[in-house]
């Protein structure tokens, strides 16, 4: 039976395989350097939430390509601590090209005029405030870098180092790292913690949809949309365009 995949999709899959092969044998820093400076210079970017685990990959990026575009989405509902942490890491690491994205005023007027969409339809809220701004900002790039790790579990337990999303290649350099690996790297390089980490926020998103977790909670994302059948904002979706759930509902 003839393949129903488009030529563009086939080319993307070939590109993903080629990138994976080019990164074979490299550690996270080496893979990041090869992608940003050797294979896709000027055609790659990093997407960062400046959350509790963001400093590691940003530190690596600052060492190999301090002028790489770092796309940061300010939804308008972030913790003030996250905004201060973004500025602190920028200054500490010497990143020179942080680009802060915002939701379209027209989208907000149409779908969230009173700012309470998160309570009625959290998936649509994330789509308007996070996914759409990112899709627009990614248009000039061929590949984007994410900080996702398999140790977060659920669907993330099976993510590859190189994947395809929204017509782009996506690199996850830290895919095999554990929480202990991240902490050790942070200590070795004296990286500052997100201010909310000490207040039992192991994962930080928007204020209305993020809660602290119990000290003995094993799921680092347990405080995100707690009590709801939602664990992903929609930025990280599958090849079929569906939002992936990290935990059972």
Q: Which residues are annotated as a binding site for [4Fe-4S] cluster?
A: 125-126, 206, 209
Nearest to 147 by CA among 45, 223, 38, 43: 45
Helix (H, G, I), strand (E, B) or coil at 96: coil
Q: What is the 3-state secondary structure (H, E, C) of 111-157?
A: HCCCCCHHHHCHHHHHHHHHHHHHHHHCCCCCEEECCCCHHHCHHHH
The two tokens of residue 134 are: 């990112």
- The CA distance from 28 to 146, in Å, is 12
Which residues line the annotated binding site? Answer: 125-126, 206, 209
Residue 29 sits at φ, ψ, to 5 deg, of: -65, -45
Q: In what order do the strands lie in the sheet with 143-145?
A: 98-101, 70-73, 44-47, 143-145, 168-171, 162-165
Tell me whether residue 35 is one of the annotated catalytic residues. no
Q: Any idea of the CA torsion for 121, 125, 131, 136, to the nearest 10 degrees?
A: 130
Nearest to 48 by CA among 95, 3, 2, 13: 95
Residue 170 sits at φ, ψ, to 5 deg, of: -135, 125
Q: Name the active-site residue from 233, 234, 236, 243.
A: 233
Residues marked active site are found at 233
């Amino acid at each position: 039976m003839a393949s129903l995949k488009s030529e563009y999709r086939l080319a993307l899959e070939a590109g993903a395989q080629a990138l994976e092969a080019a990164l074979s044998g490299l550690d996270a820093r080496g893979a990041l350097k090869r992608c940003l400076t050797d294979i896709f210079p000027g055609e790659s970017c990093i997407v960062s939430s400046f959350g509790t685990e963001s400093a590691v990959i940003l530190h690596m990026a600052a060492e190999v390509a301090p002028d790489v575009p770092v796309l940061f989405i300010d939804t308008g509902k972030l913790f003030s601590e996250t905004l201060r942490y973004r500025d602190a890491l920028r200054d500490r690491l010497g990143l020179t090209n942080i680009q802060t994205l915002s939701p379209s005023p027209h989208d907000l007027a149409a779908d969230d005029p009173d700012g309470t969409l998160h309570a009625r339809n959290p998936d649509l809220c994330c789509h308007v405030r996070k996914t759409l701004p990112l899709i627009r900002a990614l248009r000039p790039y061929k590949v984007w870098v994410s900080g996702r790790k398999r140790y977060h579990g659920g669907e993330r337990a099976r993510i590859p180092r190189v994947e395809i999303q929204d017509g782009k290649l996506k690199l996850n350099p830290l895919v095999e790292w554990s929480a202990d690996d991240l902490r050790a790297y942070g200590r070795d390089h004296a990286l500052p913690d997100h201010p909310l980490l000490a207040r039992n926020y192991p994962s930080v998103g928007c204020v209305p949809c993020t809660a602290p977790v119990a000290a003995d909670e094993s799921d680092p994302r347990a405080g995100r949309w707690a009590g709801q059948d939602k664990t992903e904002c929609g930025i990280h979706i599958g090849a079929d365009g569906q939002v992936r759930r990290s935990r059972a509902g």
